[in-house]
A and B are shown apart, each in its own frame.
Chain A
Amino acid sequence: MTTFPIEKIRADFPILQEKIRNKPLVYLDNAASCQKPQQVIDSIVHCYSHEYANVHRGVHTLSVKATDRYEGAREKVKDFINAQSTKEIVFVRGATEAINLIAQTFGKSNIKAGDEILITAMEHHSNIVPWQMLCAETGAILKVAPINLQGELIYAEFEKLITDKTRLVSVVHMSNALGTVNPVEKIIAAAKAKNIPVLLDGAQAIPHMAVDVQALDCDFYVFSGHKLYAPSGIGVMYGKQALLEAMPPYQGGGDMIRKVTFEETEYNALPYKFEAGTPSIADVIGLGAAIDYLNDIGMDNIAAYEAELLNYATVKAKQIKGLRLIGEAQEKGAILSFVLDKIHPHDIGTMLDSLGIAIRAGHHCAMPVMDFFEVPATARASFAMYNTKEEVDVLINGIESLIEIFG
């Protein structure tokens, strides 16, 4: 591996030059949302300054240009996750909307009373609540595979929960609260053996590793742009073409139709069937720019760099007396969730903020995970490709000092 171009990368992210409370910003809240490189910002400015019009509608030059850019971004997403076709790439608002879309379309047409949906105990609320809503409507049953004290899925238990009644397996690829990367290959193989479709919530995994949906052979893969260095308000639902063809539309409106009369409506082809209304055009283009940016660096290089960073941070954190890591899975992404003896995560968050360090303190939209570890909340430092070992040192020093003054 050639050396990771960390300095160049940092220079590309203007916000990293900001001072917070008069200290250089150390941004370690990337799992919540990450920052944007100049290239992404420029792509949006360029769109609105030179190439903006509505897409798929006009014969005029600008609309054709905007449509080209918009569809070009879809092509980039397709290549980025190695989908077979752009028909399988549906733009949505984010991972949350993608899961709701699947629950309301695929779910409603395939899942009936007594059927089972299988998730894990480490899901984000967005991969729990839509299924609870579906279960309440249909009488289906939500099954939850347990985790162990390292924060790993107990695979043997998971396997036992796949039954003849299971209609969908929906699991998080990488947990936002724990950092755990699930054994998705095994999970998918086990589900496929019984012809059960698998949805992967890739919201956290996507910025940290190369994802190949064909190699994985998952049926759905969802993620948000804002955690992938792209704008907020845009995300992707990947679905296998055959499944998407069979699914009813989600919302009705413009763009998702081929022909409308008052008697009947013929729906548009994929992926437009699921994209009712004017989309977030500039943000989609921004997502394309983010993917270009990441491809230039290489996802495998990013994964290797972040693994080293996480390892460095983990070793240092473990040396702090009174610090307990929450989530110590063998397979883990660049997230460090922790609690301190007798110091509440919110105090940690405020204290670190005064040093310019942004971390998250709270339940991370995974209250069942907090209950499992019997903590009200955790402090979470989550890393991105632009973070450095020096920043880890600032964090570790900050934690040590705040422990001291809490006494």
Chain B
Amino acid sequence: MFDDLRDLYQEVIFDHNRNPRNFHVMQDADRKVEGFNPLCGDRLTLFLKMDGDKITDASFQGSGCAISTASVSLMTEIIKGKTEAEAEDLFSKFHEMTTGKSKEINLEAIGKLAVLAGVREYPARVKCATLAWHTLDAAIKNEQDSISTE
């Protein structure tokens, strides 16, 4: 019945929506940043554990649509072990993919995140996919906004 939507709602997305990964409060987080999409009311809190400029752990809390939940869930998986610079690089590749700026999807660089490429065809939903990454970007850039638990 929803054949047209197969590109947008891939099975991986349903899976992450049903069972989001790293979905918990991180008591000893080094950075904690809130992301908010006023258009749809989606809210998420991103927690990062850092070792120098390396992200050693990531988790989140919040509620959102399937696209945004899957996006943040996948993101917390993929950024673990990455440096800030590597994470930012991934963000820009992800951004290019979801906004359709680059038609080619560099599977090697983007890995599992490719399942979110379908939002390109749904301009109203791009923000759902990118909210997680904008929140991460804020966590990396705006250290003064982040809460240190130390």
Q: Is this pair of chains taken from one and the same complex? A: yes
CA distance A63 to B41 in the complex (A): 49
CA distance A344 to B37 in the complex (A): 14
Separation in Å of the A402 CB from the closest CB of chain B?
A: 7
CA distance A355 to B39 in the complex (A): 23
Among A350, A376, A405, A407, max chain B CB count under 10 A is at A350
Interface digits, A346-378 against B, CB 8 Å rule (1 contact, 0 not)? 110011001100000111000100100000110
The chain B residue sitting closest to A21, CB to CB, is: B4
Which stretch in B58-66, B75-83, B95-103 binds the other chain? B58-66
Contact B63 A351 (CB under 8 A): no
Contact A350 B4 (CB under 8 A): no
Contact B40 A354 (CB under 8 A): no
| Cβ–Cβ < 8 Å partners of A377 in chain B | 40-41
CA distance A370 to B42 in the complex (A): 12
The chain A residue sitting closest to B62, CB to CB, is: A376
CA distance A351 to B64 in the complex (A): 16
| Cβ–Cβ < 8 Å partners of B63 in chain A | 344, 376
**In this assembly, does B24 line the interface, its C-beta being within 8 Å of a C-beta of chain A?**
no
The chain B residue sitting closest to A406, CB to CB, is: B14
Contact B4 A346 (CB under 8 A): no
Q: Contact check: which of A345, A361, A407 meets B18 at CB < 8 Å? A: A407
| Cβ–Cβ < 8 Å partners of B9 in chain A | 347, 351, 405
CA distance A141 to B139 in the complex (A): 39
Size category of the B interface is 20 to 34
CA distance A402 to B5 in the complex (A): 11
**In this assembly, does B8 line the interface, its C-beta being within 8 Å of a C-beta of chain A?**
yes
Size category of the A interface is 20 to 34
**Chain B contact residues: helix, strand, loop or mixed:** mixed
Q: Contact check: which of B1, B5, B39, B43 meets A350 at CB < 8 Å? A: B5
Q: Contact check: which of A343, A363, A402 meets B41 at CB < 8 Å? A: A363
Contact B66 A354 (CB under 8 A): no
Contact A376 B2 (CB under 8 A): no
The chain B residue sitting closest to A376, CB to CB, is: B41
Q: Contact check: which of B4, B14, B66, B124 meets A344 at CB < 8 Å? A: B66
Contact A350 B122 (CB under 8 A): yes
Contact A346 B2 (CB under 8 A): no
The chain B residue sitting closest to A367, CB to CB, is: B41
Contact A346 B40 (CB under 8 A): yes
CA distance A217 to B41 in the complex (A): 39
The 5 listed contacts between A and B (C-beta, < 8 Å) are A344-B64, A347-B9, A350-B8, A354-B5, A362-B39
Separation in Å of the B127 CB from the closest CB of chain A?
A: 10
Contact B5 A361 (CB under 8 A): no
**In this assembly, does A401 line the interface, its C-beta being within 8 Å of a C-beta of chain B?**
yes
Q: Contact check: which of A345, A347, A376 meets B67 at CB < 8 Å? A: A347
Separation in Å of the B12 CB from the closest CB of chain A?
A: 14
Contact B1 A401 (CB under 8 A): yes
